[in-house]
Amino acid sequence: MRLPPLLPSETLARVLRVAKFDGTTVFVLSGIFAVMAASAGEMRFAVLGLLAAGAGAIELHGAGLLGHGDRRGINWLIASQPVLLAIIYIYCILRLSHFQLPPIPEKQQVEFAQAASQLGMSTEELLRITYRFTIQTVAVIATLFQGWMLIYYIRRRHAVAQAADEMPVPVPVEED
C-alpha cells in the first residue's frame, strides 16, 4: 500500500532541514579545507575551498528565502548543486594533473615497496594508481550525491513553492 503524498508544508519543512544541514556541512567543511590548503601554501586549492564554501552559502541562502516564504529559494537550492559539483570536478582535475608523490613514512616504505614488487611495479607507480583511483572515486561519489540532491530539490519544487505561497506574510510593526 502506497502512502499518500506529504502536505506541501511538511515537504517544505523536510526540504529546509535537508538544505540547512547540507549547506552548513558544505560551508564549514569547505572553509576548513580552504584554511588547511592556504596554510600548506596551495592557493589554488584554497580558492576552490572558498568557492565550495560559497556553494554551501548559496544553499543556505535558498533555505533562508524559503523559510521566509519566498518561493525563489528553491531555485537557489537547485543551483547550488551543479555549482558545487563543478567545483569538485575542477578540484579532481587539478589533483590529477598536478600529482606530487607524497612522502612515505620510513616504517611504511618497506611495506609499499613489497606491495609494489608483488604487483610487478615500482612504488611510485603503485602510489600513482592508488591516487588516481582515489580521486576518481571522489568524482563518482560527488556525481552521485550532488545528482541525488539536485533530483531531490527538483522533485519537490512544486510542493515547496506551494507551501511558500501559503505561508502567512509577516505584518510590519509600526513604531510609535
DSSP codes of every residue in 72-109: THHHHHHHHHHHHHHHHHHHHHHHHHT--PPP--HHHH
Task: Check residue 116 and give its pLDDT.
Answer: 83
Cβ contact 167:11 at 8 Å:
no
Task: Check residue 172 and give its pLDDT.
Answer: 64
Q: What grid cell was written down for 140?
A: 563518482
- For 157-168, letters b (16+ CB in 10 Å) and e give bebbbebbeeee
Q: What grid cell was written down for 100?
A: 606530487
Task: Check residue 48 and give its pLDDT.
Answer: 97
Amino acid at 25: T
Q: What is the pLDDT along the chain (176 residues), one digit of tens a residue?
A: 788 888 888 999 999 999 999 999 999 999 999 999 999 999 999 999 999 999 999 999 999 999 999 999 999 999 999 999 999 999 999 999 988 777 778 778 788 788 888 888 888 888 888 889 999 999 999 999 999 999 999 999 999 999 988 877 665 667 65
Task: Check residue 108 and give its pLDDT.
Answer: 80
Which pLDDT tens digit goes with each residue over 93-142? 999 998 877 777 877 878 878 888 888 888 888 888 888 999 999 999 99
pTM: 0.86
